[in-house]
């Protein structure tokens, strides 16, 4: 016999042979709280696995994950799975709400703290992002994503020295972690240190030759320094890799500052780059 369906979690009806004239009375197997909790955790894990391979439709996956949170109200795992499902639908508010329930159960779990920090950052709640990320890093100080997102939060707040310090800590964990190197270049540009910006962006492209963001940043810098043809050619190469970088809102989302955005708009006004501006 295969595994039982999840309807078995709520109750298992066992019908005995009925005597003539008797009504059939179902017997419901009663599960102890710890059994329900175990079933809830198992259900959450199965939902997570099936949704990963897209074998479970989104609404049904969320419904099952919600059921899992009810069966295992004192376990954080079902809430984390539910948050992940909301994130796949890009519903940051509901993902945050679910993850905050997980946080109430496991306040010292660094993964929950780092994810809450990232969600707060994406929703422009910088004080909350700082609190979650700093708390997570106090528990797990070498977490590269936590360090990077803390640097990003400081960058959003224009606290440039603090941002660079966190990026450098992230790079110390992985010298090939080019997003942190790239973002130091963003700080360099905004503070007027253009040559350091170029060095950091070139180092990023050396690590990943297909990294469109630092490639476009170098193009913008070259263009502003009078190397217009080189800038246009590099911009074309970068946008062929990833057209999203031709969209100003996307650049802002990726922490490009006001000075770099202004310079990018001038470059993108070039006729040769106009085809990249249309969807």
Residue 168: C-alpha distances to residues 114, 180, 215, 217 (Å): 18, 7, 21, 20
pLDDT confidence bin for 72, thresholds 50/70/90? confident
Domain membership flag for residue 121? yes
**How big is the CA angle at 71 (ends 67 and 72), to the nearest 5 degrees?**
115
Say how many domains are in the chain: 3
Whether residues 277 and 183 share a domain: the answer is yes
| End-of-domain residue from the set 153, 169, 185 | 169
Query: pLDDT tens across 146-160, in order?
Result: 999 999 999 999 999
Out of 52, 71, 96, a domain closes at: 96
3 state DSSP class of 13: strand
Per the model's pLDDT, the better-predicted residue between 135 and 74 turns out to be 135
Instruction: Say whether both 161 and 185 belong to one domain.
Output: no
Asked whether residue 159 falls in the same domain as residue 204, the answer is no
Which two tokens mark 87?
A: 């994130």
- Per-residue pLDDT at 262: 98
Q: Are residues 163 and 247 in the same domain?
A: no
CATH number assigned to the domain comprising residue 70: 1.25.40
- CATH number of the domain to which 226 belongs: 1.25.40.10
| H/E segment holding residue 264 | helix 258-268
Q: How far apart are CA 259 and CA 261, in angstroms?
A: 5
Type and span of the H or E element at 65? helix 58-71
pLDDT tens for each residue of 233-258:
999 999 999 999 999 999 999 999 99
Q: Which of 45, 77, 96 is the last residue of a domain?
A: 96
- What is the C-alpha to C-alpha distance for residues 140 and 112, in angstroms, rounded to an integer? 12
Task: Give yes or no: residues 279 and 180 share one domain.
Answer: yes
User: Is it the case that residue 34 has pLDDT exceeding 70?
Assistant: no
Based on the fold, state whether residues 279 and 182 are members of the same structural domain.
yes
In the chain, the DSSP E strands lie at 13-14, 27-28
Residue 6: inside a domain, yes or no? no
Has residue 55 got a pLDDT over 50?
no
Within a domain: residue 23?
no
- Which pLDDT does position 1 carry in this prediction? 32
Same domain, 77 and 118: no
Model pTM?
Answer: 0.78
Q: Are residues 182 and 165 in the same domain?
A: no
Q: Give yes or no: residues 159 and 212 share one domain.
A: no
Share of the chain above pLDDT 90, in %: 67
pLDDT band at 188 (very low <50, low <70, confident <90, very high): very high
Give yes or no: residues 277 and 222 share one domain.
yes
Look at the block and give the residue holding tokens 């019908």: 15
Task: Supply the range of the domain harboring residue 214.
Answer: 176-279
pLDDT digits (tens, 9 = 90+) for 83-119: 888 988 889 999 999 999 999 999 999 999 999 999 9
Q: What is the torsion angle, in degrees rounded to the nearest 10, for the CA atoms of residue 102, residue 108, residue 112 and residue 118?
A: 130
Confidence label for 58 from pLDDT (cuts 50, 70 and 90)? low
Same structural domain for residues 195 and 224? yes
Residues 127 and 61 in one domain: no
Task: Please give the helix or strand (H or E) that residue 88 lies within, else none.
Answer: helix 77-88
The pLDDT score that the predictor gives to residue 139 is 97
Three-class secondary structure assignment of 14-61:
ECCCCCCCCCCCCEECCCCHHHHHHHHHHHHHHHHHHHHCCCCCHHHH
- What is the residue whose two structure tokens read 């979690």? 9
């Amino acid at each position: 016999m295969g595994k039982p369906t999840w309807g078995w979690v709520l109750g298992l009806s066992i019908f005995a042979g009925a005597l003539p004239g008797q009504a059939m009375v179902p017997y419901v197997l009663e599960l102890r709280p710890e059994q329900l909790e175990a079933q809830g955790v198992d259900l959450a894990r199965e939902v997570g696995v099936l949704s990963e391979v897209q074998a479970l439709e989104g609404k049904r996956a969320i419904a099952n994950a919600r059921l899992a949170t009810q069966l295992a109200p004192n376990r954080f795992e079902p809430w984390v799975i539910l948050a992940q499902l909301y994130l796949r639908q890009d519903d940051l508010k509901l993902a945050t709400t679910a993850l905050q329930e997980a946080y109430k159960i496991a306040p010292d779990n660094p993964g929950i703290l780092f994810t809450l920090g990232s969600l707060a950052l994406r929703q422009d709640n910088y004080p909350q992002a700082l609190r979650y990320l700093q708390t997570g890093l106090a528990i797990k100080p070498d977490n590269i994503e936590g360090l990077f997102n803390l640097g990003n939060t400081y960058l959003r707040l224009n606290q440039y020295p603090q941002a660079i310090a966190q990026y450098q800590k992230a790079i110390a964990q992985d010298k090939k972690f080019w997003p942190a190197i790239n973002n130091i270049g963003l700080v360099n540009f905004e503070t007027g240190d253009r040559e350091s910006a170029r060095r950091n962006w070139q180092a990023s492209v050396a690590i990943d030759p297909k990294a469109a963001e630092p490639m476009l940043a170098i193009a913008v810098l070259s263009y502003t320094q009078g190397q217009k043809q080189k800038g246009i050619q590099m911009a074309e190469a970068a946008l062929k890799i990833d057209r999203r970088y031709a969209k100003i809102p996307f650049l802002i989302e990726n922490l490009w500052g006001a000075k770099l955005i202004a310079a990018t708009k001038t470059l993108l006004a070039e006729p040769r780059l106009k085809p990249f501006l249309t969807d």
